[in-house]
Structure 1
Amino acid sequence: MMDETQTDVRPRTRRKTRRNVLFVFLGIFLVAAIVSGAYVINLANSFNGQTQKIANAFPEESTRPTKEGAASKAQNILVLGSDSRGDSVDMANEGAASDQRSDTMMWVHIPGDRKNIVMMSIMRDTWVDIPGHGQAKINAAMAFGGVPLVVQTLEGMFKARLDHVAIVDFEGFKAITDALGGVDVNVPIAFTSSGSEGFTFAAGSQRMNGDQALAFVRERYAFSDGDYQRVRNQQLFLKSVMNTALTPATLTNPAKISDLVSQVSPYVSVDEGLDAAAMASLGVSLRDVRGSNVLSFTLPNLGTGTSADGQSIVIKDDAAISGVADALGSDSLALYMEKNGLG
Structure 2
Amino acid sequence: MAEPDEETAGRHPNRVRLAIKLTIVVLAVLLATAVTAIYLASERLGDQIRRYPGVFSGLDDSARPAPTAAMNLLLVGSDSLATQPTTGTEATRPGFVPGAQRSDVIMLVHIDAGYHKATVVSLPRDSWVNVPGHGMAKINASYSIGGPTLLVRTVEGLTGLRVDHFAVIDFAGFEALTDAVGGIDVTIDRTTTFGTLVLHAGPNHLDGTQALGYVRQREGLPGGDLDRVERHQNALRALLRKAVANGSFSDPVRAYRFLDVLTRWITVDETMTNGELRSLGWQLRGLRPGAVTFLTAPVSGLGREGTQSVVYLDPGRDAQLWRYAGADDVEGYLRAHPGSALGNSTP
Q: Into which bin does the TM-score normalised by the smaller protein fall?
A: 0.7 to 0.9
Offset of residue 206 of structure 1: 2.6
**Which stretches in structure 2 are left out of the alignment for 5+ residues?**
1-33, 81-85, 87-91, 342-347
Is it true that 1:264 corresponds to 2:262 in the alignment? yes
Greater Cα shift, 119-128 or 319-328: 319-328
Q: Answer yes or no: is the 8 Å Cα contact 1:46–1:265 preserved in 2.
A: no
Deviation at 1:174, TM superposition (A): 1.3
Instruction: Tell me by how many angstroms 1:100 deviates.
Output: 2.2
Q: What RMSD over aligned residues (CA atoms) do the two structures have, in Å?
A: 2.1
Are residue 306 (structure 1) and residue 312 (structure 2) matched? Answer: no
Equivalent residue pairs, number: 295
Give yes or no for contact 2:248–2:258 (8 Å, CA) kept in 1: no
What residue in structure 1 maps to residue 136 of structure 2?
Answer: 135
If the length of structure 1 is used for normalisation, what is the TM-score?
Answer: 0.80
CA distance in 1, matches of 2:60, 2:93: 24
Q: Which amino acid aligns with 2:229?
A: V
Q: 1:99 to 1:330 in 2, by over 3 A?
A: same
Q: Residue 73 of structure 1 aligns to a residue in which SS?
A: coil
Q: Structure 1, unaligned stretches of length 5 or more?
A: 1-35, 92-96
Judge which range, 329-338 or 116-125, deviates more.
329-338
Q: CA deviation at 1:298?
A: 0.5
1:162 aligned partner: 163
| CA offset digits 1:119-173 (Å, max 9, x no partner) | 0000111111111101111110012211111100110111110110000112111
- Indicate the residue corresponding to 2:233 in structure 1: 235
Percentage identity across paired residues of the two chains: 33
CA contact (8 A) 2:189 2:202 kept: yes
State the AA in 1 paired with 2:65.
P
- Does residue 66 (structure 1) correspond to residue 66 (structure 2)? The answer is yes
Q: Is the 8 A contact 2:102 2:140 kept in 1?
A: yes
Over alpha carbons, which structure has the higher Rg? 2
Matched residue, 1:276: 274
Change in CA separation of 1:189 and 1:109 when aligned onto 2, cut-off 3 Å: farther
8 Å contact from structure 1 (residues 47, 275) kept in 2: no
Kindly indicate whether the alpha-carbon contact (under 8 Å) linking 2:50 and 2:268 is maintained by their aligned counterparts in 1.
Answer: yes
The residue number in structure 1 matching 2:147 is 146
For the residues of structure 2 that align with 1:272 and 1:61, how far apart are their CA atoms? 17
Q: TM-score, normalization: structure 2?
A: 0.79
User: 2:172 matched to which residue of 1?
Assistant: 171
CA contact (8 A) 2:76 2:107 kept: yes
Q: What residue is the counterpart of 2:123 in the other structure?
A: 122
**Aligned partners of 2:128 and 2:310 also within 8 Å:** yes
Match runs of 1:201-240 below 5 Å = 201-240=199-238
> Quick one: structure 1 residues 88 and 181, their matched pair in 2 at CA, closer, same or farther if it must change by over 3 Å?
closer
- Residues of 1 paired with 2:112 and 2:163: CA distance? 13
Summarize deviations over 1:169-215 as a string: whole Å, max 9, x none. 12111112111122222233321113xxx211112223221111111
Decide whether aligned partners of structure 1 residues 250 and 48 sit closer, same or farther in structure 2, where only a CA change above 3 A counts.
closer
Counterpart for residue 13 of structure 1: none
Alignment partners' CA distance in 1, 2:189 and 2:41: 36
Q: Check conservation: 1:189, 1:202, Cα contact below 8 A.
A: yes
The answer (yes or no) to whether the contact 2:247–2:255 under 8 Å persists in 1 is: no
How many Å separate the matches in 1 of 2:243 and 2:204? 17
Match of 1:200, as an amino acid?
V
1:3-22 pair list within 5 angstroms: none
SS at structure 2 position matched to 1:251: coil
1:76 and 2:72 matched: yes
The aligned amino acid for 2:173 is G
Q: Which moved more, 1:44-53 or 1:220-229?
A: 44-53
1:250 aligns with 2:248: yes
Query: How far apart, in 2, do the equivalents of 1:109 and 1:139 lie?
Result: 20
Q: Distance in 2 between matches of 1:126 and 1:104?
A: 12
Distance 1:39 1:178 in 2: 27
Instruction: Please tell me the residue identity of whatever aligns with 1:166.
Output: A
